[in-house]
Structures are given as structure tokens and as C-alpha cells.
Amino acid sequence: MGTILMVGTRKGLWVGRSDDRREDWSWSGPHHDMEEVYSCLVDTRGATPRLFAGASSSWLGPQIRWSDDLGETWHETPGGGIKFPEGAGATVERIWQIVPGAGEGVLHAGTEPGAVWTSRDGGLTFALEEGLWNHPQRPEWGEGFGGQAFHTVLPHPTDPDSITAAISTGGVYQTTDGGGSWTARNQGIRADFLPEDQRYPEFGQCVHKVTRHPDRPERLYLQNHGGVYRSDDEGGSWTSIGDDLPSDFGFPIVVHPHRPDTIYVFPLAGGAEGRYPPAGQARVWRSDDAGESWTANGEGLPEAFYVGVMRDAMCADGRDPAGIYFGARNGSVWASTDDGTTWREVVSNLPDVMSVKAGSWEG
């Protein structure tokens, strides 16, 4: 049995390895030294895990790399990685998301500028989802402080023609016809940065992250730039579930691997200004009833913690009880092996953490 933790930072990737108990960790890195690693994936669909990293070099540009030996050696996508077709008038700057698709060898990627891509050969080549790139609303999408990027790509677990994606600042979009057409799915999500009478637009929301559980794909959870929401009709409408939180601003939102009604967030105070936990106390807030109520979990976490946790820097593994992990902008990574109740630091003094992804397998 094995558990692996990938930590992408602004200056490379670190890989942690442990067993099913997840008490002792061994670390290797930096891999892709001095490159920005905004996205990671532990793909456990094969006999052994395949690791993917979306790395970006200031000299060579972005590239998806993969490893079949838990990070000992790495390979690159042929032809220089993900590229827009000629005449698109754009160049890929960063790879913000890599996720497995519904089907053998299928992967999806989200990039900056805002585009979604699909690979059907295990990551060797990627094709642009042109229906979304050519969407008539795309020229009006804004750009958050982190850039304009599709940071969320959620393939439907059983319907290969359905994908839900989210971008800052454009909102949630969905296709149900294999990418031929995409519709905005933002009804009920508030955009506080707009004038009062325009705060529920069809699109343009600054969505920070969206997640769901594969056993209940019609239920989505969303962390907005001010607001935590749930949808029970796959994004057709959204209901606020953040009233009991100390702040409804934050970046990540994670669903428990075995319980579709259990979710985790890391609230930040001060909105766009502070971006650290309320009162400087690190707390992971958990709901066990789909957001109807929340409890703070901070045992083992610092009481003085003036850094944030980014949208892709929090995740869960597949163990039972579940391992919950987050990495912070001070280079520390924290783990819980009891469903998020108690915490301990598993590595420190890394560069600014952008992505944390876990995976587990038998063998």
C-alpha cells in the first residue's frame, strides 16, 4: 500500500511518499527546479500511479511532464507541450489544472489564458476545446489578480460528453455535448465587485474553485471570491452555504472522498486585502451536512498563521479515514489522517505552495 503527495511550488515540485498509515514521509525534490508548478495529478487508474506536473519555465514556457516511477524520472509531452493552433492569437502561459477524464487515456487541462484542452492518448497530445475558446462571452471575461485561467475542470464521472469548468473571472461553464457548445451556469452566484444592481450577472463571477463527489455528480460545491455555494442541479442554480463561516472569502474547497455531504474550506479574512485566516489562526472548516452547518478544526495547527492557502493547494486522498492536506504560501504542508480533525506539519520551508495533490493505491 502506498500514499503519495505532490507539492507544486513557484520554484519546483516536491514528492512525498508514505504507506497507508501516513505517519512517516520521505521527500524528494526539487523536481523541475526553479519552474512554477501550478498543477499536479496523481493518476491512479493504471496498475501503478502516473504523476503529472504542469510546469512553467520563464525561458521555455509551460510543459506537462509525467513520471511512471513516482518521480524518479520524468518525460515531456512531444512537440513542446500544449499549444494554441495557428491563428488563435494566443500563447499558453501557465497550466493551472490537469485532471483525469471519463475514459481510458483521457485527460483534461485548464490553462492561462482561459482555455480547456483534452488529451485522448494519455497526455501525449492535447486538443483545444474550440467550442469554449470561441464562446461569444469569452472576450468579456475579466482577469483576477492571479491571471485569467481555467483552474477547475470537472468531467462528469459517467457521462463523457459532460464537463463543468470554472474560470476567474468568467464563472462556471458546462458542456453536455462533448464540447460542441458551452453554457454559463452562474445563477445565484454574487459578484460583489460589480454595482449593487448588477451583482448577479449571467457570467463574469470570480469563481475560485468548484468540486463534487463522483457518487453524487449533480451536487456541486463552489468557493467564490466572497461566498460559498452549493448547487443540487449540476450548476443550474446556486444557494449560499457560507453564513456560519467566519469569512466567506477563500480559495480551496474540497469534498471528502467517501462522504458526498462532507466538505472542507480554508477561510481567509480581509478579502482581497488580508488574505490570511481570521485572527491569524489556521483553521480548516468542515461541514458534514452539505454546508448547512460548519465546525472549525484546528488541533495541531498554528495560532499565528498570516499566510493563505491557494485554490489548488488543498486535497484529500482515498484512504479511510481520509487524509486531508493543505499547503500554504509560507512553504509549509499540513496533513490530517482522521478526516480533518487533527493536524501535523509534514514538510516545511518549501517555496510558495501552489498545488497539493494526493493519491493512494494498493500494491
- Residue 133 pLDDT more than 90? yes
How do residues 50-108 score in pLDDT, each as one tens digit? 999 999 988 888 999 999 999 999 999 887 789 999 989 999 999 999 999 988 899 99
Query: Predicted confidence band at 110 (pLDDT cuts at 50, 70, 90)?
Result: very high
How do residues 325-337 score in pLDDT, each as one tens digit? 999 999 999 999 9
The closest alpha carbon to 320, from 262, 253, 251, 252, belongs to 262
Q: Mean pLDDT over all residues of the chain? A: 95
pLDDT at position 237 is 98
pTM of the model: 0.96
Domain ranges of the chain: 3-360
CATH code, 3-360:
2.130.10.10
pLDDT at position 363 is 61
pLDDT at position 270 is 64
- Residue 271 pLDDT more than 60? no
